[in-house]
Chain A
Amino acid sequence: MERGDPVTLDLLRGTLDMLVLKTLSRGPLHGYGIAQRIKQNSSDVLQVGEGSLYPALQRLLLQGWVTAEWGTSETNRRARFYGLTKDGRRQLARETDEFRRMVAAIGQVMELA
């Protein structure tokens, strides 16, 4: 995949939720960290807009898939760290499965066409 211009990630809700859950599966992060991690791991292609990120985090909190705790950031500031719950892990597995099926299906269609 070639590196194009960075795209602002205004993905479908479910997709962003999945990316956040996936990102958190490696350990707790604060909001800014999540955005940065997604950007890095997508080689700067996916830029999560704050306008989507924080609403998404609030949604995940309400679903009970993540927890939030106040801690100290790497810059010694108070920051809210999000971590995955057991429910969240299960949800991630479900969504990963579904995502794989979807990608495979889309791939098939694209191959055939």
Chain B
Amino acid sequence: MRRLWRKLRALRRHDDMARELDEEIRFHLEMMEADGAGRAEFGNVALVREASRESWGWPALEGWLRDLRLALRSLRRTPVASAAAVVSLGVGIGAASAVFSIADAIFFRTLRVPDADALVSVYQRSDDRRAMFSSHAWPHYEMLRDQAGSFQSLAAYSRIPVNARLGRLTERLITELVSNNYFEMLRVQPKVGRAFRPDDGQVAILGERLWRERFGSDPEILGRTLVLNAQAFMVIGVLPDSFQGVVLDWGKPPQLWIPATARAVLPALPFENAGSHWMLVTGRLRPGATVEQAQSEAEAVSTQFYAQHPVDGWKYRPVVLPVQQARFFPAYRASVENYIALLAAVAGLTFLMACFNVANLLLGRAAQRQREFGIQVAMGAGRARLARTLLLEAGLLACGGVAAGLVMASLMTSALSRFDAPFGLPLNLDLSVNPRVAGFAAAAGILTALLAGLAPLRQAWRSDVLGLISGGMRAGGGRRMRLADVLVSAQVAICLVALTGASLFERTMERIQTSDPMFRAGHALMAEVDLLSRGYDEARGQRMLNELLRRVRELPGVEEAAYVKTVPLGGFRGARDVKVNGAQVNVQVNTISPRYFAAAGLPLRQGRDLRDGEASSVVINEQMAERFWPGQSALGRVIELPRTKQQFTVAGVVRDGRMRNFREAQIAPCVYLPLEADYQRMITLYARTGPPPEALLGAVRAAFQDVDRELPFEAGTLEKHLERALAREKLAASSMSGLGAFTALLAAVGLYGLIAVTVSRRSREIGIRMAMGARPAGVVAEVLKRFGWLLAAGAAAGLAACAALSRFAEALVFGVRATDPTAFLMACGLMGIIAALASAAPAWRAAKTDPWQVLRQD
């Protein structure tokens, strides 16, 4: 006990004791000299000191602390390089963690319900080349529920817009319409109240968040009345926040659930329609039942269903998937995976680049410290000690990098989660940095420390003492620099890949923007008009639409306004059968009000826009005219809707753009029907504005409320709309450009470091050459020749990597080929400039070498 206390005191009084010991040893030496013995007889002073101190207590701990201090001091000696290493590691680790957290949220977060492994989702797939996924019609679901025996229970669900009156405001709530057994099938328990029962009618279950934010977590909520689509619903439960629905990619998480048995008061929902695929189906397998059994049963039911309800065109086959694979609409999963893969590649390269940079920094420092290492080894420092110091240095940098990385990760994650459009549909993800992500970052940090620390360690390990002390600084290039060469070449290669990618994606953006007229349309505001939920008949609806349009057109700042059913580049399009030249054909059909093309800024090639009050004219696009009346005028031709026998004459031909997205292989033939003749209960009001459209949002909202106080208002700007349409490309372009800039900077730093070290190592040789009469230019060329080879090696590796990646990039670029040599050559040119800049200063120093000074150095 007392010993421990003394040891603790020794630890506290460490410095005093060290001073006393030193003085004592000095005294001993003096006494020996006085007695006529030389200093040599004393032996190794430092070793005596060391050995004596060790008895004070925690030699191991102390050793670590001392080495830590040493490492800190050594890092502080090069503050700029150390800070650069920490920042670049932070960017690398941050990017990797951000992408990891997104991938984690998308692919690995499980549905948190009891026994989720027994859940499967049932989709259908069209039996043709396109293999399109779809959901089910309600009658099909009912048949499956009643006949497929391998399911314990099978539920159907769909999202519908519901207008709720909350206080004075009418608001659209994201609502899930579910079969009454939905919660029982999932085994999800409400937090308050109860789940739906088969005999429930107009009842509703609130999400916890809606309950909290709109009802102040009112404990008396059960039994209260909620007015949904002007119908009274009784609140019977509140669902906990932990449940956010089965699918993740269906827009925002649902706020409200209502049972399918409430359909009596929900008009216009296609419960009876066997051709309307609007219900997702998920079920719980009976214990012992397999996915394969469910699959074959679903096939049998499907055959029977389509025998009763024949469909023209393609056939459907059911697909049964474990629910964990079905949390995205299967068709979108590939697109999500594609972009995650792109992000992962970018993050991986960033991380690798940062690691190389730190390794290079430590390697360069180690090269300059060869002599110091030699002296340390000669003084009796074990090589293990040396290794420890080096690893500690790398470890300290890695710690700083992890800390910086976590900050960067949370910044980048929130930036990326706002970038939800690239994933096909908005994602409902919880992207907070969780322990798993932090663990990932820490693991990345340790990996870095090992990767970056091992490089100089190898060097120090091999160092032979005499060589290091006498010749360390003089050695020419030699074998020792080879690792640094490889690192810098790799950096050049990565940088070239990044720059090539950046150039490809930036050009993709440019091509897209010049390829579609929508991108030159200027300012516009787009507001959704939802008359469906108001339950008006056609006459009243048309009157309201006309009144609303009139008011909006009168607003100051609105230059032109019109209605359009399907907004271009919104991800949707609609095809219908029409009769042209006596034959029935399937073409794109859109519905517009008069003056739409003037509002949208689309140029008419022939004829005119629709006029107010005109119900029997249509406008077609160039492709339609070209396909059905090639070489002739299409004006005055007749197009018929076979279902209603309505006939229209062509009044104009327009040059329009792509409807769903700009990647459509070609612009499809399209007919624009007049709204007057083709009433739509959901339509978009499109208003071209002089000033930025945000300024007019309030006025347009007021116009909506003047027309109908209960009419929900949802609006956005054309700019935002196009941003969404271009989100994938923008994400690709901006992440690639960011990576390009980052890698270019690091490659420049790496090259600069390597050249500078080489010049300082070879200064003696350069001095001799100059003394012998070599011209500075020749010397510089000689020094830089090696780096020319390094660059060439890096470029070759970069070219190979680009070629390997081009197949992957082909799906993401537009208007350019991924194997386009211009992009690579441009990247090489840029790399050349970077290399020239990086080598300028050291080359200048080499040229300015003063032979006399150098030769006098040692």
A14, chain B: closest CB distance, angstroms: 14
| Chain B: CB-nearest residue to A59 | B55
- Judge if B43 is at the interface, Cβ distance under 8 Å: yes
Of A75-83, A89-97, A99-107, the one contacting chain B is A75-83
A39, chain B: closest CB distance, angstroms: 11
Q: Which of A51, A59, A62, A63 contacts B48 (CB 8 A)?
A: A51
Q: In the complex, which residues of chain A have a beta carbon less than 8 angstroms from the beta carbon of B30? A: 75, 77
Given A62-B10, A62-B55, A64-B2, CB of A51 within 8 Å of CB of B47: yes
- Judge if B626 is at the interface, Cβ distance under 8 Å: no
Of B16-24, B482-490, B541-549, B629-637, the one contacting chain A is B16-24
Measured as residues with beta carbon below 8 angstroms from the partner, the interface class of chain A is: 20 to 34
Q: In the complex, which residues of chain A have a beta carbon less than 8 angstroms from the beta carbon of B47? A: 51
Contact with B along A40-76 (1 / 0, CB 8 A): 0000000001110011011101111000000001010
B74, chain A: closest CB distance, angstroms: 29
Contact A58 B55, beta carbon cutoff 8 Å: yes
Q: Which of A11-47 contact B (CB under 8 A)?
A: 30-32
Q: In the complex, which residues of chain A have a beta carbon less than 8 angstroms from the beta carbon of B27? A: 30-32, 73, 77-80
Q: In the complex, which residues of chain B have a beta carbon less than 8 angstroms from the beta carbon of A30? A: 24, 27
B16, chain A: closest CB distance, angstroms: 12
Q: Which of A49, A62, A75 contacts B56 (CB 8 A)?
A: A62
Q: In the complex, which residues of chain B have a beta carbon less than 8 angstroms from the beta carbon of A58? A: 21, 52-53, 55-56
Across chains A and B, the number of contacting residue pairs, with CB separation under 8 Å, is: 65
Given A31-B28, A77-B30, CB of A50 within 8 Å of CB of B55: no
Contact B25 A62, beta carbon cutoff 8 Å: no
A106, chain B: closest CB distance, angstroms: 29
Given A55-B51, A55-B52, A64-B6, CB of A50 within 8 Å of CB of B43: yes
Docked complex Cα distance between A57 and B25 (Å):
12
Contact B10 A50, beta carbon cutoff 8 Å: no
Q: In the complex, which residues of chain B have a beta carbon less than 8 angstroms from the beta carbon of A54? A: 21, 24-25, 48, 51-52
Contact A31 B24, beta carbon cutoff 8 Å: yes
B707, chain A: closest CB distance, angstroms: 93
Contact B20 A80, beta carbon cutoff 8 Å: yes
Contact with A along B1-44 (1 / 0, CB 8 A): 01100110010000000001101110110111010000000111
Contact A62 B6, beta carbon cutoff 8 Å: yes
Q: In the complex, which residues of chain A have a beta carbon less than 8 angstroms from the beta carbon of B2? A: 64
- Judge if B464 is at the interface, Cβ distance under 8 Å: no
Given A55-B54, A63-B3, CB of A50 within 8 Å of CB of B24: no
Docked complex Cα distance between A57 and B48 (Å):
12
Docked complex Cα distance between A58 and B7 (Å):
11
Q: In the complex, which residues of chain A have a beta carbon less than 8 angstroms from the beta carbon of B32? A: 32
Query: How many residues belonging to B are interface residues under a CB distance threshold of 8 Å?
Result: 28
Docked complex Cα distance between A55 and B51 (Å):
6
Given A32-B31, A78-B27, CB of A50 within 8 Å of CB of B42: yes
Contact A80 B24, beta carbon cutoff 8 Å: yes
A73, chain B: closest CB distance, angstroms: 7
Docked complex Cα distance between A61 and B6 (Å):
9
A55, chain B: closest CB distance, angstroms: 5
Q: In the complex, which residues of chain A have a beta carbon less than 8 angstroms from the beta carbon of B23? A: 78, 80
Contact B3 A50, beta carbon cutoff 8 Å: no
Docked complex Cα distance between A2 and B231 (Å):
120
Q: Which of B599-624 contact A (CB under 8 A)?
A: none
B559, chain A: closest CB distance, angstroms: 92
Given A30-B27, A79-B24, CB of A51 within 8 Å of CB of B44: yes
B783, chain A: closest CB distance, angstroms: 48
A22, chain B: closest CB distance, angstroms: 20
A64, chain B: closest CB distance, angstroms: 6
Q: In the complex, which residues of chain A have a beta carbon less than 8 angstroms from the beta carbon of B43? A: 49-51
Docked complex Cα distance between A77 and B32 (Å):
13
Most buried by A among B21, B27, B42: B27
Contact A62 B24, beta carbon cutoff 8 Å: no
Q: In the complex, which residues of chain B have a beta carbon less than 8 angstroms from the beta carbon of A80? A: 20, 23-24, 27
Docked complex Cα distance between A3 and B43 (Å):
25
Docked complex Cα distance between A32 and B42 (Å):
11
| Chain B: CB-nearest residue to A54 | B52
Docked complex Cα distance between A38 and B719 (Å):
95
| Chain A: CB-nearest residue to B2 | A64
| Chain B: CB-nearest residue to A56 | B55
Given A51-B47, A55-B52, A58-B56, CB of A32 within 8 Å of CB of B28: yes
Given A55-B55, A58-B52, A59-B55, CB of A50 within 8 Å of CB of B6: no
Contact with A along B345-357 (1 / 0, CB 8 A): 0000000000000
| Chain B: CB-nearest residue to A35 | B28
Contact A50 B7, beta carbon cutoff 8 Å: no
Contact with A along B369-382 (1 / 0, CB 8 A): 00000000000000
| Chain A: CB-nearest residue to B35 | A36
Known A-B contacts: A64-B3, A73-B31. Give 6 more (CB < 8 A).
A31-B24, A32-B28, A54-B24, A54-B48, A58-B52, A79-B27
Residues of chain B having any CB pair with chain A under 8 Å: 2-3, 6-7, 10, 20-21, 23-25, 27-28, 30-32, 34, 42-44, 47-48, 51-57
9 nearest interchain CB pairs? Answer: A54-B52, A58-B55, A32-B31, A55-B51, A59-B55, A55-B52, A32-B28, A58-B52, A51-B48
Sample (7) of A-B pairs whose CB atoms are under 8 Å apart: A32-B32, A51-B51, A54-B25, A54-B52, A55-B48, A75-B31, A79-B27
